[in-house]
Each structure stands twice: as structure tokens, then as C-alpha cells.
Amino acid sequence: MNKNACGFDILNNPKLNKGTAFTETERDLYKLRGLLPAGVSSQESQIKRVLANLAAKTSDIERYIFLFSLQGRNERLYYRVIMEHIQQLMPVIYTPTVGLACQQFGGIFRETRGFYITPKDRGKMRDILSNWPEKDIRMIVITDGQRILGLGDLGANGMGIPIGKLALYVAGAGIPPEQCLPVMLDVGTNNEALLNDPLYLGVKQPRLTGAEYFELVDEFVSTVQETFPKALIQFEDFLTPNAYALLNTYRDQVLCFNDDIQGTAAMVLSGIYASTRISGLNFSDLRIMFLGAGSAAAGMADLIHPALCEAGMDSDEAYARLWFVDHLGLVVNSRDELPEHIVNYARDEPAMAFLDAVKTFKPHILIGATGVGGTFSEDVLQVMASNNQHPAIFALSNPSSHAECTSEQAYNWTDGKAIFASGSPSPAVEYNGRTLQPGQGNNAYIFPGLGLGALACEASRVTEEMFLVAAKTLASMVDQQSLDQGTIYPPLKNIRAISLRIACAVAEKAYQQNLAQRERPADLEQTIADLMFDPVY
């Protein structure tokens, strides 16, 4: 506690405030006498009060607003509630509720949180970043709001995504909250509804594009290297061409990664590894089909490809195991102007529709990253079941309404054979007397631990090998009880332990690759564990 702070300065500072948990001694020491009710609460009783308030809310968006407000009042209480009830509250503070929160951002705005950059700030980046009160920033999540989940261009309303991601970094991996910086690159929006909305809080102009856009991003990235030299930059929810352009520009220059491309890929690869423990298939024998050819799906393939090569096949054979279908059908070489990120996956096959491609290729794994609900039809899943004893179905699009199919559909349409994972939480399904529990393919399994590991050893870069080892580590933590229920991810309630294991593996890989700038401690796990934020008071 800052001994120079007292009275309302403490109560109005979310980092210092404990509310009714200030003891009698603290109330005298910090001049809080008379400013609080007489009763002294434990943090445990405060948690019960928070949970009771949450239970009284009638919708998840109301719960989101309540928790957002709690974070602005009492940061430690907020994070302890989230940490101890992560399975229950992650869908509230992140997907799927965060999508609705972003859509309603202008209407539910209560208090500023995060950092906003606009085209007017060009040439002033160093000056405006100095306005941020914390000077030891280690974790930055930045978006331009152009491709928020499956909801499209939400402009400055997309600030909810960096805020939510960083809350998961803190709760899931113990990154100290004062070291986190959510950033909105507000370069306008092409969403006419927002441009005409009097409550919209962003820049009301069409999106900045081309050289001016990339120069603004470059000024930000360069200034971060000077102002916050130990910070990791996570790019989030950028449109596919920009996402790849930024990742390819900076991945070998600064400590950064793109979670949609690389974090999603590691999460999916982990699920594929775990699925083979149910299906009995060898990883090196798998055929994998993607519905959707954007940055998320291509990023998955770009990590699965080296994993297949590591399993013993050459590069061409590995590419041949990965087929893509988009809104035009199978991605084939005869198409004009294929996007660069998908060229390696185009097939020398005749053009064909999705169902015909499934019949032809006979994939073991079907992965949806379309942003379009219901695209895994009954016909498609029945073909998957006819070709596989245990077809693995990943319906990953968020929010839930955009999922390619539901858990009930996946199990019913495959006669209970499916190994199913979805992007948002899905309910268990009773099928022929058996309880089948879907896994949630959530990036929160990967990015908190990866970020913690990179920061703990002060890595200079984030590499493909770090994502590979993160995927293997996560898959190894799925126990037999989970597999027996059809679940290919460990319980989210164990996220802190999961993140610590991944962080150790990532840091170890950084040391092996000579990318760690901090001397390796004798006890790496304990050193990393000691870095993790503890919100108990």
C-alpha cells in the first residue's frame, strides 16, 4: 500500500482499494474512518456478495457490465473472483458475451479503459504513449476492430477485445495487471450503421488504408520498442490481409505474435493431438479439411504442416494432407488470384462443392472457421461418420450463433461417434445413456501461458517452435477421464496450472533457441510461478 495515499484517494484507486475489507487498523492508518460502513469483510465474504449480485442479473451483458465496473473499483477482488470461477465467468468476460459487449460498446460505456490511437496521432506517438500512467508495460494487445470475432467491422467498439484478452492474461497466467495495456488502433470504420450512430465513440470516417495505415502501425510498434522495450505485442482481430502483412513484417523484428493466426493454430493442433488418443489414429496418418480460408484457418494449417513434417513426412506430402474449402468450394489451383496465405494449400483437383470435397478427400478432422452458422450440415456430418469411427469436428466460429454446428447436432448426426469441440462453451449431451462433454477450443488455453513464458525469460522473438511446444504441452494435460467423455481439452478451472506448464515449456524453448535475454534460473518453474500475480489480500 502506498503510505502517501489516504482517504478517497485509496477508495477511488482500483489497484489499492479493498472496500469493506480494510481492517480497523488500516482504516485508522489510511484515514478511512467514517468513509466505509462499520462492518469489516473478508475477501471471501466479498466474493460471495459478488456472486450473489451476478446471480441476480438477468442477462450475461448485465453480468459483463457489473464485472467491468467491479474491475474499475477493486481490481484484486475482480481478479480473484475470475480466477476462482473461471469456468463460469470466462463466457461472461470473453466469448461469447464480449461480442455483444463490443456491439453495444457506445451504449454501455461507463469509464475509460485502454489506450486509443487515431490518424491524428501520427508523428505524436511518443508523446501520447507517455500519457499512460504505468511505465513498465510488458503485455500489449492491439486491434483495429475490423474483424471482431465473427461480427465484422466494429471500429472502436472492438476495444472490448483487448480489454478481455488482457483480463485473461492476468487471471489465466498471472501477468500483473499494471503491466498490461489494451490498445485500439482507431482508424475509422466502414460500418455505415456505426458511422450514423450518435452514440458511436470512434473516429467517424471511412477506414484508413494503404501506406498511411501501415505507417501509423509502424510508428506505434517502433515507439513501443523505445517506450516499453520489454513488451510483447499481440495483434488481435485484424482483417486477414492486414493480419498477415503485420505478422510477416514484425515477427522477426520484435517480440510479437498474432493470436488469431498463431494462438488459434496451437489450440487446434493441441486438440488434434488429443483426439488421436480417442480415435486411435496416428497423427502422421491424418487428413484434415478446413471450411473457411481466412487467417484463422490458414494459421492452423501453417502450424499443422510443420507438425506433420516433424512426424516424419516431407513438405509436399504434409501439404497434401490439408484441404481447404471456402464459399466458392474446394480451393484449387485453377482459380484466379488466390490469396498468398492460401496458395500452398490449393489442390490440383476439379472444382467441387463442400459435400463433394468431404466425400472425395475423406478427412478424419473437419475444422470450421467460417464465421457462418450452420455450415456443417447433417449430410456433411453423416459422411464424416460413415468414413470414420470417431470423426473429429471443430466448430470454432464465435459467437455461439455463428458456430458451424451445435454439440447436439454433431453427436446426433454422427450417431454419437463425433469428437466435438466448439469455440464457445457448449452443453453436455446425453446420447444413448452416455454423457458426452464437448471441449471448448478456446485460445485462452494457449496465449496466457505463451505470453508468460516469453516474458519470464525476456525472449526477443516468438517462434513457430514455441507454439508447437505449447500445443504438445496442452495436449499432454488432458487426462483419461476427460477423454472418456469425449473431451479433448483439460478443464478451464485448471488454467493457472496449464499456463504455468506452457510458460515453462515456452521459456525452455527460448533458451534452446538462444532467444532468451534473461539468464536461466536453476529452478525455472518456481521462478516463473513467483512472477505470477496473486490478488489475495
438 part of a folded domain: yes
Q: Are both 354 and 268 inside the same structural domain?
A: yes
Question: Whole-prediction pTM value?
Answer: 0.95
Q: Are both 218 and 281 inside the same structural domain?
A: no
Give the CATH number, domain containing residue 247.
3.40.50.10380
Give the CATH number, domain containing residue 1.
1.20.1370.30
User: d(Cα 355, Cα 89) in Å, to the nearest integer?
Assistant: 37
Whether the CB-CB separation of 482 and 428 falls below 8 Å is answered with no
For the chain, the domain total comes to 3
pLDDT at 102: 96
Q: Are both 234 and 323 inside the same structural domain?
A: no
Strands 256-258 and 232-235: parallel
475 part of a folded domain: no
Q: Return the DSSP state at 368.
A: E
SS3 label, residue 522: coil
pLDDT at 293: 94
83 part of a folded domain: no
Q: Are both 184 and 238 inside the same structural domain?
A: yes
Q: Are both 140 and 7 inside the same structural domain?
A: no
Phi, psi for 515 (deg, rounded to 5): -110, -5
The beta-strand segments (E) located in 55-195 are: 115-117, 139-143, 180-185
Sheet holding 365-368, edge to edge: 329-330, 322-326, 288-291, 365-368, 392-395, 419-422, 439-440
The beta-strand segments (E) located in 383-511 are: 392-395, 419-422, 429-431, 434-436, 439-440
User: d(Cα 362, Cα 14) in Å, to the nearest integer?
Assistant: 55
Question: How crowded is the C-beta side of 371, counted as CA atoms within 13 Å?
Answer: 16
Strands 288-291 and 256-258: unpaired
Q: Return the DSSP state at 262.
A: I
By CB atoms closer than 10 A (0-12, 13-18, 19+), residue 355 is middle
User: d(Cα 24, Cα 30) in Å, to the nearest integer?
Assistant: 10
Q: Are both 200 and 304 inside the same structural domain?
A: no
| Beta bridge pairs of residue 332 | 347
Give every residue of the chain whose pLDDT is below 70, as ranges. Answer: 1-3
Whether the CB-CB separation of 332 and 351 falls below 8 Å is answered with yes
Q: Are both 357 and 293 inside the same structural domain?
A: yes
pLDDT at 150: 79
User: d(Cα 5, Cα 16) in Å, to the nearest integer?
Assistant: 9
User: d(Cα 105, Cα 164) in Å, to the nearest integer?
Assistant: 13
User: 201, 235, 254: which is the final residue of a domain?
Assistant: 254
pLDDT at 249: 98
Q: Are both 282 and 212 inside the same structural domain?
A: no
pLDDT at 28: 97
List Cβ neighbours of 196 (8 Å cut-off, separation of 6 or more). Answer: none
Strands 329-330 and 115-117: unpaired
Instruction: Give the range of the structural domain holding residue 348, as residue numbers without chain letter.
Output: 262-444
Whether the CB-CB separation of 434 and 403 falls below 8 Å is answered with no
How many other β-carbons are positioned within 10 Å of the β-carbon of residue 229? 11
496 part of a folded domain: no
469 part of a folded domain: no
| Beta bridge pairs of residue 516 | 459
Q: Are both 291 and 423 inside the same structural domain?
A: yes
Whether the CB-CB separation of 31 and 57 falls below 8 Å is answered with no
Q: Are both 239 and 271 inside the same structural domain?
A: no
Give the CATH number, domain containing residue 278.
3.40.50.720
Residue 152's region, left for phi above 0, alpha for psi from -120 to 50, else beta, is: left
User: d(Cα 345, Cα 305) in Å, to the nearest integer?
Assistant: 10
Q: Are both 288 and 400 inside the same structural domain?
A: yes
User: 409, 444, 479: which is the final residue of a domain?
Assistant: 444
48 part of a folded domain: no
Active site residues per annotation? 94, 165
Q: Is the peptide bond before 399 cis (omega within 30 degrees of 0)?
A: yes
User: 444, 475, 503: which is the final residue of a domain?
Assistant: 444
Q: Are both 103 and 29 inside the same structural domain?
A: no
103 part of a folded domain: yes
389 part of a folded domain: yes
Among residues 315, 170, 158, 342, which one has the least CA distance to residue 238? 158
pLDDT at 3: 63
